[in-house]
Structure 1
Amino acid sequence: MHANHLFPDLPHDFPGQNVDLAPDNAPVWMRRLMNRIEEGHLRNPLAGAEVTGTTDAEKQAAVLMLFAGSATSFDLPNDASVLLTHRSPTMRSHSGQIAFPGGRIDPEDINAVDCAFREAWEETGLDRRTATPLAQLDEVHIRATGYPVYPVLGHWHSPSPVAVISPDEADEVFDAPLYDLINPDNRLMVGWREWKGPAFRVADYVIWGFTGGLLSAIIDQAGWAHDWDTDRIYDLENTLARSRNNERLR
């Protein structure tokens, strides 16, 4: 579903535009992260969590990790945030999860960046002209499906209005403040069966799995992290039951 069908005041997407990475345009407070990516420290951002899966071109996907914050700040700015969605509990896959905007790469998409921006527009109404694509991380295979997902990192230099565009896909769109995410009180390790991984609490939601792992890797490599308790493992099912996720494990 396209953004302008439900919100006619939101701009149309601009497919094929703004699809080239521009790492030199990263704000100063993201430069350490960019250097770590260039040095290969995020070559495998979910090491130990992903699986070897299909490389079927028809089942590749991309997500947009879009960070906002003052471009003039040398340190992590007070207004730093990341764009997230809450997937509708009625979705067939990953229902109730907090996720980055994203989805399957279409044949019409020029590359993963084009896909990530298109999906963000379809889900949130994001105007891709207000953001700069900075880097594309190596593919990560989702444990549940084995399908490759390409994370695209961007800076939202001129935040534009966003909203729930397709309620069947996402029922909330919000900017998660980075200072809330890096607060040690909001970070935790969760486990389910043999799996365990980092998670976050924000706005009464729990961010875990693919999204939680990527956020944790980004925060750690960027040098934004504070010491937090990585020894205690919280039961994921109980943790989700006390959250707003409305999510059931399968």
Structure 2
Amino acid sequence: MPTTADPRAAAVLMLFGVLDRSPSDRPAAADAVHRDLDVLLLARASTLRSHPGEIAFPGGRIDPGDHDAPAAALREAREETGLDPSGVEVLGTLPAVPLAHSNHLVRPVLGWWRDPTPVRVVDERESAAVFRTPVADLLDPANRGVTVLRRGGQEWRGPAFTVRSEQGVHTLWGFTAMLLDALFDRLGWTEPWDGARELPLPAARRR
């Protein structure tokens, strides 16, 4: 992916755990994926200037006081979702991914939620929802597709997922969907899905 000369360092937390309620009602095709395996997500507020209305992982810029990318990801997750970082086991980091349009170099941090704690929207100016979604549902071909972003005569296509929270149905797309898609492929969890099926963009990005 393209990058810029002086990107700002950032980190996101890809936090997986055992869902404490409402596991998926469908078994995933991959034997290694259990119905109660879940991942933590949040819906960004539609009023934000950057990535409005998008489903994302907790995360943000790496501050000077952060020891490393995992420390930054855990701090941001606590600030955004209220989770207790002491219950998270950091499994490792993935190669940093450049985001040229926002001038960031983002380090994904993989975590296992060894001791889950309640999560919530901490700041409504930043997030509209915080929720855990079953991985088996993300892998369901019925919940997979692509989004198409058209701007200035150009077209950007990328993987996407349909996800559900107490606030409704969302399209998970863009950077977060790319990370999940690549991780599922790498782990051998991906089920065949229709790459021509187009999912709707959030209203804030259709304008």
Task: Give the TM-score of the pair, scaled to structure 1.
Answer: 0.71
Segments of structure 1 that go 5 or more residues without pairing to the other structure are 1-49
**Which protein has the larger Cα radius of gyration, Structure 1 or Structure 2?**
1
Segments of structure 2 that go 5 or more residues without pairing to the other structure are 20-30
Report the alpha carbon displacement of residue 218 of structure 1 after superposing the two structures with TM.
Answer: 1.0
CA contact (8 A) 2:43 2:129 kept: yes
Task: Pick the aligned partner of 2:61 from 100, 104, 113.
Answer: 104
| One-letter code aligned to 2:77 | A
Equivalent residues in 2 for 1:100-249, closer than 5 Å? 100-193=57-150, 194-203=155-164, 204-230=169-195, 232=196, 234=198, 239-240=200-201, 245-249=202-206
Task: Map Cα deviations across residues 118-164 of structure 1 (whole Å, 9 max, x no partner).
Answer: 00000001111111111111111114223101110111112111111
| One-letter code aligned to 2:4 | G
Task: Give the TM-score of the pair, scaled to structure 2.
Answer: 0.85
CA contact (8 A) 2:46 2:204 kept: yes
Correspondence for 2:24:
none
Task: Map Cα deviations across residues 185-219 of structure 1 (whole Å, 9 max, x no partner).
Answer: 00002222321110000111000000010011111
Question: Helix, strand or coil: the match of 2:122?
Answer: coil
Q: State the distance in 2 between where 1:145 and 1:249 align.
A: 18
Where does structure 1 differ by over 3 angstroms across 4 or more consecutive aligned residues?
Answer: none
CA contact (8 A) 1:55 1:148 kept: no
Structure number having the greater strand percentage: 2
How many residues are paired up? 188
CA contact (8 A) 2:184 2:190 kept: yes
Which range is displaced more, 156-165 or 136-145?
136-145
Q: State the distance in 2 between where 1:133 and 1:115 align.
A: 12
Correspondence for 1:91:
48
Report the alpha carbon displacement of residue 177 of structure 1 after superposing the two structures with TM.
Answer: 0.8
| One-letter code aligned to 2:177 | G
Q: State the distance in 1 between where 2:100 and 2:172 align.
A: 16
Q: State the distance in 1 between where 2:5 and 2:92 align.
A: 23
Report the alpha carbon displacement of residue 75 of structure 1 after superposing the two structures with TM.
Answer: 2.5
Report the alpha carbon displacement of residue 105 of structure 1 after superposing the two structures with TM.
Answer: 0.7
Report the alpha carbon displacement of residue 69 of structure 1 after superposing the two structures with TM.
Answer: 2.6
Percent identical among aligned pairs is 46
Structure number having the greater helix percentage: 1
Question: Helix, strand or coil: the match of 2:76?
Answer: helix
Which range is displaced more, 104-113 or 221-230?
221-230
Report the alpha carbon displacement of residue 246 of structure 1 after superposing the two structures with TM.
Answer: 4.0
Q: State the distance in 2 between where 1:54 and 1:206 align.
A: 31
